[in-house]
Structures are given as C-alpha cells and as structure tokens.
C-alpha cells in the first residue's frame, strides 16, 4: 500500500454514518478516506490479519469555490511550511488559516482555505467579496486562489497586513478585530458573513453602529455550540446554502429561529438578486 500522511480529519456529520480523513499520498496527490461507522451485518469475528484493507473507491466531485476571478492559482502542495499563524489577527475567525513566506515577491502572506465540502460556503463568500473590493484600498491585497490537486479551488491567499459602503457591501458582523490598522489606515477583513445590498437602511444601520462597536469593551463572542454547529451544517446541506442574516441571528441567539419556508424563500431571492439582500430578511 502506498504511504501517506494524514492532513486533516472530521467525524461524522448529521445524517451521515461516516467520517473522513484528508490524506497526502506519496505521489503528492490529496485524497479522502471514508470511515464507515455503522455496525456490520455479520457477527464480530476476531480473525483479522492486522493489515489495512481498502473496501471500495468512489470517484466524486467535491464542492469547491464557485467564483474564481483572479488569474493566479497556487496549489496547496506548493505552499511550503506554514508559520505559526494561529495568533495572527488576519487568521482569526478562519477554520484553516496560516502565514506563509515568499510568494509573489511578498515576504508574508495569509492563506485561508476550507477542505470540507460541507463548509466551503463561507470561504466562497469571502472570495467573492474580495473580488468586489480589490483595488479600492479597503482590505488586504488578494494574491491568488488556492487549489487542491491543481483543480479544486478551496481557498485564497492575501497579503499580510498590507469606504466599503460605496460599493454596496455590508460587512454583517463588525467588531474591533475586523479592522487592520496599517500606517494610519484602517482595512477590513473577515468577510465570511458579508454580502452586497441595495438597501440603504442596512448600510446606514451598520455605519451608525460602528462608533459604539469601536468604543465598547469588546470580548470575543461565545463559541458556537456543537449542537448549533451541527444544525447549521444540516441547514446548509438541506437548502444548498445559508442566508447571511439567518446565520448571524442563529449565532447571536444560540439557536435557529427562522422557519424552513422563510429560509428557502430568502435564499431564492438572494440568488435571483445576484447576492443582494435587504433588511426585510
């Protein structure tokens, strides 16, 4: 059997009877191993050979970032060794994020990605928001998309620490750590819950709340419970996405309060309007 290195793993998701290992093979390809948790239909027979057996293989297309707008692509296997970036401000609020060195003549870059196809929606939103703010000096400079096996797009690369409402963008979850102060300028990052809107009242409300947010004794929000996390994943799978307003209400209140009918209708409106939404949601 070909040697391999375990990169990541995830336990079973709601409604799923298996978990996954993300592995790097000796041939430098990334593959996924499924662990089936269900009990076998035959009795336990203690006559194993102590050797691993591959029961089956399946060729399937994993969910990836839909909108690839930047010409540069960097494969995960070409990133090299990461620095310890877990305490970097730009790495906060990201499931997988770290600082790397020497890419595109930049000393330090930040790479954020999501390999699990069930959670790729957040990184997908961030990638699209970066396409809207690129060149407006609002956020860090976008350098490249991150690929897996040189085809599936799973993340992005931005420069480390290097007026959004005019573009019709609402951040969605502003807090002091959303701002990077560089040479006297304030840049925004962490766009996982952001979206475009043509509703001026939504944009004005976020700007009105900004002063209070910056003056408050801010503490990181309470972590999302495993139960709520599982419910949000199940919601994303059921409806093929999560509306930003529904997601943030659930995080703030600790539970999902919107009905299935409302959520599906709002998602449909969001897609019809090209990502634009209003305060009625």
Residue-wise pLDDT for 27-78, tens only, equals 888 888 877 655 555 555 566 676 766 666 777 778 899 889 999 999 998 9
174-194 confidence digits (pLDDT tens): 665 666 555 656 566 666 666
Name the pairing type of β-strands 142-148 and 73-75.
parallel
Which pLDDT does position 140 carry in this prediction? 81
Which candidate, 259, 214, 212, places its Cα nearest to that of 235? 259
Which pLDDT does position 161 carry in this prediction? 64
Choose between 213 and 151: higher pLDDT. Answer: 151
Which pLDDT does position 164 carry in this prediction? 44
Which pLDDT does position 167 carry in this prediction? 47
Query: How many whole angstroms from its chain centre is CA 102?
Result: 24
User: Does residue 138 have a pLDDT over 90?
Assistant: no
**Tokens standing for 244?**
């930003």
DSSP of 51-77: S---------PPP--S----S-EEEGG
Q: What is the mean pLDDT of the chain?
A: 74
Which pLDDT does position 209 carry in this prediction? 66
221-255 confidence digits (pLDDT tens): 556 787 888 888 888 878 877 887 788 788 778 88
Which pLDDT does position 163 carry in this prediction? 44
Choose between 53 and 24: higher pLDDT. Answer: 24
112-137 confidence digits (pLDDT tens): 898 887 778 878 888 988 888 888 87
CATH superfamily of 73-196: Transferase(Phosphotransferase) domain 1 (1.10.510.10)
Which pLDDT does position 85 carry in this prediction? 53
User: Does residue 168 have a pLDDT over 60?
Assistant: no
Q: What SS3 state is found at 13?
A: coil
Type and span of the H or E element at 262: helix 260-272
Interhelix angle 260-272/244-253, nearest 10 degrees: 140
Place of tokens 């998701």: 13
Which candidate, 123, 126, 188, 124, places its Cα nearest to that of 161? 188
Return all residues near 128 (Cβ < 8 A) that are at least 6 apart. 67, 275
> What residue spans define the domains of the chain?
4-36, 73-196, 226-272
Type and span of the H or E element at 207: helix 200-215
74-93 confidence digits (pLDDT tens): 999 898 888 765 445 556 55
Name the pairing type of β-strands 96-103 and 106-113.
antiparallel
Choose between 167 and 80: higher pLDDT. Answer: 80
Dist. CA 60–CA 195, nearest whole Å? 30
The alpha-helical segments, DSSP class H, found in the chain are 121-133, 200-215, 226-239, 244-253, 260-272
Which candidate, 115, 179, 183, places its Cα nearest to that of 149? 115
């Amino acid at each position: 059997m070909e040697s391999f290195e375990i990169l990541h793993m995830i336990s079973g998701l709601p409604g799923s009877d298996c978990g996954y290992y993300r592995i790097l093979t000796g041939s430098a390809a990334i593959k996924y191993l499924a662990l089936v948790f269900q009990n076998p239909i035959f009795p336990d027979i203690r006559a194993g050979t102590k050797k691993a057996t591959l029961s089956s293989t399946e060729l399937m297309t994993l969910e990836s970032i839909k909108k690839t707008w930047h010409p540069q692509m960097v494969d995960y296997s070409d990133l090299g060794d990461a620095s310890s970036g877990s305490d970097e401000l730009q790495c906060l609020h990201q499931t997988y994020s770290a600082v790397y060195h020497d890419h595109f003549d930049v000393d330090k870059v930040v790479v954020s990605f999501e390999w699990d196809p069930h959670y790729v929606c957040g990184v997908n939103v961030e990638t699209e928001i970066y396409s809207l703010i690129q060149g407006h000096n609002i956020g860090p400079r976008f350098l490249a998309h991150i690929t897996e096996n040189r085809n599936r797009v799973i993340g992005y690369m931005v420069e480390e620490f290097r007026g959004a409402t005019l573009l019709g963008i609402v951040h969605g979850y502003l807090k002091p750590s959303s701002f990077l102060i560089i040479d006297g300028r304030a840049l925004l990052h962490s766009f996982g819950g952001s979206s475009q809107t043509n509703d001026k009242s939504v944009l004005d409300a976020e700007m009105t709340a900004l002063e209070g947010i910056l003056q408050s004794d801010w503490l990181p929000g309470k972590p999302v419970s495993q139960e709520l996390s599982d419910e949000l994943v199940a919601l994303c799978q059921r409806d093929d996405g999560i509306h930003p307003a529904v997601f943030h209400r659930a995080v703030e209140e600790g539970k999902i309060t919107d009905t299935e009918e409302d959520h599906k209708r709002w998602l449909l409106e969001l897609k019809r309007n090209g990502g634009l939404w209003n305060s009625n949601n």
